[in-house]
Amino acid sequence: MTLLRKTLFNRTFVVVLLFGLSLFAVAKDIIAHPENTETTHNNYIIYKHNFLNLIHQHTLFGPEPQYYFDLNHYGPVFGLIMAPFALLPNQVGVILWVLFLTWVTYYAIIKLPLNNFQKTIILLLNVNAMMGSSGNVQVNPLIASLVIFSFLLIRNQKDFWAALMIVIGTAIKLYGIVGLAFFFFSDNKLRLILGLVFWSVVLFILPMAVSSPSYIIQTYKDWLPDLQAKNAANLGSYRGNVSVMGMIAKIFNAQGISNLYTLIPALLLFGASMLRIKYWRNKQYQLLLLASVLVFTVIFSTGSEPPTYVIAFIGFGIWYVNLKRPITSFERFVFIFTLLLTGFGGSDLFPPDIRKNYIVKYALMALPAFILWLKIVHEMLTRKFDEETEENVLQLKPVAANA
């Protein structure tokens, strides 16, 4: 048992596991169907054609069944990010894309203001989520990383560059706008605001260098109705809308209920959790807000799918390592419930009948994550952070001293 713990919590082992399983998830289909990347990695082909359509000034949001099924819903800035990968053969580009996403997520986590053991735990908890995201070639790890970078840069008083992270994330998938939640931690709010304006202008103009001003302006005009159509499609999706609103609608067969009945109380709770001004400089409080933002972004979005939960699961890991020790029985329940149902609800850990007829059908992956988010909000509202010491922090035990 001692050897198992030493291995399991060893940073090198966890990093190899993280990158190895992400690589395996994307490479297995290439090996099985080397001539058919368009089918096995449809999301990557969509991303690739975001760039190709950008430079050829074709609409980004129309169907292109000759290349891929489904539709692109990402803005023109994303095309620039995909440029280095899109110019490569599909089999090479998709692997490098997944490895890039894994690396940027790893880098964001190890830069968090935590001890080494806490960072290793977060990485370990997210191995399966990253593997699932990599198998679907999702962009979500990049979005999560940009949110974390905006948090880190604001903490380090680099507000101008934090603004860049927020604008890039928003320009890719709107989710990135949640980085504005860290505005109140900033010591240079005016610099942050000016940075947001500056980078918004720069990233609006930059794609014009490979297309044209009129094309980019029209693309942004087309983006809003595309997102509205996507949101409408999500509401009736079997695998989509894995959110609190989707869970309620699917369980109670209440598709006609307005999402505002859920979103408005959630936003009020979220706002209330940020009102403890005296703790705005407290590291544990700040990290709990980061965890809250990452979970909130997913569980209250109708666009959430099982692979999207890689964003929420990073928040889950941050919450867990910041729990005041010793943890309570309820906190242990929340940890296990979230790990099993949210972390593995879409995997073969559950029998197919249970997974398809209950977990997926009723969007139950959102349930533990919702309870987790409420627990984070409760902590932000009630914990006495100024009374906590290093003894209350999750630290490396002597048995794993070589980790």
Instruction: Identify the CA nearest to 200 among candidates 154, 160, 143, 153.
Output: 160
Location of structure tokens 């830069």: 111
Q: How far apart are CA 232 and CA 228, in angstroms?
A: 6
Q: Cα 348–71–29 angle (5° rounding)?
A: 40
Q: How far apart are CA 28 and CA 120, in angstroms?
A: 26
Contacts of 379 (CB under 8 A, 6+ apart): 288
Q: How far apart are CA 176 and CA 227, in angstroms?
A: 15
Q: Residue 374 is inside which H or E element, if any?
A: helix 366-382
Sort 16 into a burial class: Cβ within 10 Å, 0-12 / 13-18 / 19+: exposed
Please answer whether residues 25 and 134 qualify as being in contact, where contact means their C-beta atoms are separated by less than 8 angstroms.
yes
Q: What is the per-residue pLDDT for 375? A: 98
Q: What is the per-residue pLDDT for 402? A: 35
Give the pLDDT of the chain (403 residues) as one tens digit per residue.
576 677 778 899 999 999 999 999 999 878 776 666 555 589 999 999 999 999 999 999 989 988 888 889 999 999 999 999 999 999 999 999 999 999 999 999 999 999 999 999 999 999 999 999 999 898 999 999 999 999 999 999 999 999 999 999 999 988 889 999 999 899 999 999 999 999 999 999 999 999 999 999 999 999 999 988 888 888 777 788 999 999 999 999 887 788 999 999 999 999 999 999 999 999 999 999 999 999 999 999 998 999 999 999 999 999 999 999 899 999 999 999 999 999 999 888 899 999 999 999 999 999 999 999 999 999 999 999 988 876 666 765 533 333 3
Tokens of 81: 């990010």
Location of structure tokens 């819903």: 73
Q: How far apart are CA 95 and CA 214, in angstroms?
A: 34
Please answer whether residues 9 and 117 qualify as being in contact, where contact means their C-beta atoms are separated by less than 8 angstroms.
yes
Q: How far apart are CA 236 and CA 356, in angstroms?
A: 16
Sort 245 into a burial class: Cβ within 10 Å, 0-12 / 13-18 / 19+: buried
Instruction: Identify the CA nearest to 280 among candidates 349, 139, 182.
Output: 182
Location of structure tokens 């349930």: 367
Instruction: Identify the CA nearest to 299 among candidates 232, 244, 367, 363.
Output: 244
Tokens of 275: 């009102």
Location of structure tokens 């942050």: 192
DSSP state of 346: T
Question: 110 by DSSP, 3-state: which?
Answer: helix
Q: Which amino acid is at 271?
A: G
Q: What is the per-residue pLDDT for 143? A: 96
Q: What is the per-residue pLDDT for 398? A: 39
Q: How far apart are CA 366 and CA 165, in angstroms?
A: 27
Sort 183 into a burial class: Cβ within 10 Å, 0-12 / 13-18 / 19+: middle
